[in-house]
């Protein structure tokens, strides 16, 4: 069954309240740098102590040795998932895998906020799908556990990659909600049909008047 991951893109108090209010639900909480930089131990300990899985979304992108040290620190912090940009290169991915322990390493292929035009601006001339597929192949063959990709690429990756992997899909919107800065959004139903294993949702839940009720509704869709 697919899992729901809530992106804690909030201030510290809102994050602590939400984690406390959702105790007992089968959820992953994603901590990104907004909270991590100033409050990392407070929020990561709260997520773990409340019994949830911890997804550290730090999107590491550095030279191999620095990436490796980052993975070791995340491992020591008790993270269950950690993101690394696949474009950090094969050697960085390899060294990350060597020290990962029980962390599930997730390779970031292409940010869901990037359009075809953005790719050209970055000097990437192959089409989006080929680019994502080749990055994902590199990560999975190096021993990564999952790939962060848009809902539009999940089917392709599930069909074409030879090894099993977790498809982690952000950019999810409920009916009628605005895409905002995301360029490639998808509904919960579509993400599931296409094979998403972890649905990452932020604003659709955080901006709800009753986030707990909204989480319950989404969990019913996943059941």
| Residues of this chain that bind ligand C5P (CB under 6 A) | 7, 9, 32, 57, 108, 111-112, 148, 170-171, 182, 200-204
59 is catalytic: yes
Q: How far is the CB of 193 from ligand C5P (least distance, A)?
A: 19
- Of 134, 72, 130, 152, nearest in space to 105 by CA: 72
* C-beta of 92 vs 135, nearer to ligand C5P: 135
Tokens of 214: 């909204």
DSSP conformational letter for 15: H
Q: How far is the CB of 219 from ligand C5P (least distance, A)?
A: 16
- Of 188, 168, 204, 47, nearest in space to 213 by CA: 204
Are 77 and 100 within 8 A, CB to CB? no
Q: How far is the CB of 16 from ligand C5P (least distance, A)?
A: 17
Q: How far is the CB of 106 from ligand C5P (least distance, A)?
A: 9
The crossing angle, in degrees rounded to 10, of helices 151-160 and 128-142 is: 60
Catalytic residue among 59, 94, 158, 183: 59
What does the alpha-carbon distance between residue 16 and residue 219 come to, in Å, rounded to a whole number? 21
* C-beta of 146 vs 171, nearer to ligand C5P: 171
* C-beta of 32 vs 195, nearer to ligand C5P: 32
- Of 77, 34, 78, nearest in space to 57 by CA: 34
Residue nearest ligand C5P (C-beta atom): 202
* C-beta of 77 vs 198, nearer to ligand C5P: 198
Q: Which residues are catalytic?
A: 59
């Amino acid at each position: 069954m697919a899992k729901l991951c809530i992106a804690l893109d909030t201030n510290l108090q809102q994050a602590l309240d939400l984690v406390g209010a959702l105790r007992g639900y089968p959820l992953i909480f994603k901590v990104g740098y907004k909270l991590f930089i100033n409050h990392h131990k407070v929020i990561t300990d709260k997520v773990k102590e409340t019994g949830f899985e911890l997804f550290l979304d730090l999107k590491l992108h550095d030279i191999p040795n620095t990436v490796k040290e980052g993975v070791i620190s995340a491992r020591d912090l008790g993270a269950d998932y950690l993101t690394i940009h696949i474009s950090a290169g094969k050697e960085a991915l390899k060294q990350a895998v060597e020290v990962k322990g029980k962390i599930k390493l997730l390779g970031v292929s292409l940010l869901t906020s990037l359009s075809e035009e953005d790719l050209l601006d970055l000097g990437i001339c192959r089409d989006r799908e080929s680019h994502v597929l080749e990055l994902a192949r590199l990560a999975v063959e190096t021993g990564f556990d999952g790939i962060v990709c848009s809902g539009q690429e999940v089917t392709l990756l599930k069909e074409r990659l030879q090894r099993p992997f977790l498809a982690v899909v952000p950019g999810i919107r409920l009916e009628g909600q605005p895409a905002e800065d995301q360029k490639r959004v998808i509904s919960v139903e579509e993400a599931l049909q296409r094979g998403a294993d972890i649905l990452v949702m932020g604003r659709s839940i955080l901006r709800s008047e009753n986030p707990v009720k909204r989480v319950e509704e989404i969990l019913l869709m996943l059941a």
